């Protein structure tokens, strides 16, 4: 039986591939457990400096596998309670990882697949791909961190519009609304996401990781506490080899050479 999630490596970049193409990579418990397990390992793997997430076949991820949920022995409510719990740990790994995480959206991203994509740091989207929140059309509410990420990307009014009407979102519309970083031709998303990751890993992952953490904290931290966190962060960066190299390179009018590690 094929693995539900494939882990591939290309130098310093890890590729996680959702691998249930016959179900459009819909999430059952096997898939989300494998996905979260891989993310936990990648978060602490010092040989990995960036992660690209994509789907096998025609879809990125069609969301939760509702056929699986309806057949769960304890019933669909219990199934989604368990599934969301494991998926949410994966989302926390994505958001807490001091490394860039890029979604290569090769096809439709709906439901939990939509939430996963917008939870990543960057999104490269195929021209023919589309987003759809899908939950409310099935009488469900959004999970997978979607209610956290969506209003922060598009604003509250637009997020409510997406939740209320659930219209498909084309790649052009997603770009105009700030839901994706870049649109590329069909079949090019993994290549472009890998090129983006390659560019990012040549930079300081230490400063990226601290900046990512500060952005995450800013949504629930008072200004005074956020400013103090920024002061502690920039002090830590200045004490790190990356920060020292960056400042020296700036003063010497040359390009910095990092590769000093993240964390």
Same domain, 182 and 226: no
- Which residue range(s) make up the domain with 244? 205-251
Per-residue pLDDT reduced to its tens digit, 182-193: 999 999 999 999
Contacts of residue 160, defined as CB under 8 A and 6 or more positions apart, other chains included, come to none
Same domain, 177 and 226: no
Q: What value does the mean pLDDT of the chain take?
A: 95
Same domain, 217 and 187: no
The percent of residues above 90 in pLDDT, for the chain, comes to: 96
Same domain, 73 and 88: yes
Same domain, 212 and 176: no
Q: Give yes or no for a contact between 8 and 15, defined as CB atoms under 8 angstroms apart.
A: yes
Same domain, 146 and 215: no
Per-residue pLDDT reduced to its tens digit, 100-145: 999 999 999 999 999 999 999 999 999 999 999 999 999 999 999 9
Domain count, the chain: 2
Same domain, 57 and 165: yes
The pLDDT assigned to 259 comes to: 74
What would the mean pLDDT of 187-215 be, rounded to a whole number?
Answer: 95
Same domain, 190 and 211: no
The pLDDT assigned to 26 comes to: 98
CA distance 226 to 230: 6
pLDDT bin (cut points 50, 70, 90) of residue 1 is: confident
The pLDDT assigned to 263 comes to: 46
Same domain, 219 and 152: no
Contacts of residue 141, defined as CB under 8 A and 6 or more positions apart, other chains included, come to 135, 147
Per-residue pLDDT reduced to its tens digit, 134-169: 999 999 999 999 999 999 999 999 999 999 999 999
The reply to whether 113 falls in a domain is yes
Same domain, 194 and 220: no
Per-residue pLDDT reduced to its tens digit, 39-63: 999 999 999 999 999 999 999 999 9
CA distance 35 to 25: 12
Same domain, 113 and 209: no
Q: Which of 159, 181, 201 is the last residue of a domain?
A: 201
The reply to whether 214 falls in a domain is yes
CA distance 30 to 231: 43
CA distance 139 to 258: 49
Instruction: Give the pair of three-digit tokens for residue 182.
Output: 């870049």
The pLDDT assigned to 260 comes to: 56
The reply to whether 262 falls in a domain is no
The reply to whether 149 falls in a domain is yes
Same domain, 63 and 181: yes
Instruction: Give the pair of three-digit tokens for residue 118.
Output: 């917008």
Say how many C-beta atoms besides its own lie within 10 A of residue 249's C-beta.
14
């Amino acid at each position: 039986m094929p693995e539900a999630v494939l882990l591939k490596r290309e130098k310093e970049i890890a590729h996680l591939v959702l691998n249930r193409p016959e179900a459009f990579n819909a999430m059952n418990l096997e898939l989300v457990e494998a996905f979260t397990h891989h993310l936990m390992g990648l978060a602490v793997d010092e040989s990995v400096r960036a992660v690209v997430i994509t789907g096998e076949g025609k879809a990125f991820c069609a969301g939760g596998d509702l056929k699986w949920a309806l057949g769960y022995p304890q019933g669909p409510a219990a199934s989604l309670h368990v599934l969301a719990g494991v998926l949410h740990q994966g989302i926390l790994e994505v958001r807490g990882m001091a490394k860039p995480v890029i979604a290569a959206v090769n096809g439709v991203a709906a439901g939990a697949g939509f939430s996963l994509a917008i939870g990543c740091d960057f999104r490269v989207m195929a021209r023919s791909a589309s987003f759809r929140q899908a939950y409310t059309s099935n009488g469900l509410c959004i999970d997978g961190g979607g209610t956290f990420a969506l209003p922060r990307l598009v604003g509250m009014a637009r997020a409510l519009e997406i939740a209320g009407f659930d219209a498909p979102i084309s790649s052009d519309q997603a770009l105009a609304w700030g839901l994706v970083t870049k649109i590329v031709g069909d079949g090019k998303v993994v290549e472009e996401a890998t090129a983006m990751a390659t560019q990012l890993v040549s930079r300081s992952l230490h400063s990226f990781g601290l900046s990512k953490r500060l952005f995450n904290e800013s949504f629930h931290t008072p200004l005074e506490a956020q400013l103090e966190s920024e002061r502690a962060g920039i002090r830590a960066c200045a004490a790190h080899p990356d920060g020292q190299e960056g400042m020296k390179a700036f003063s010497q009018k040359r390009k910095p050479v990092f590769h000093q590690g993240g964390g």
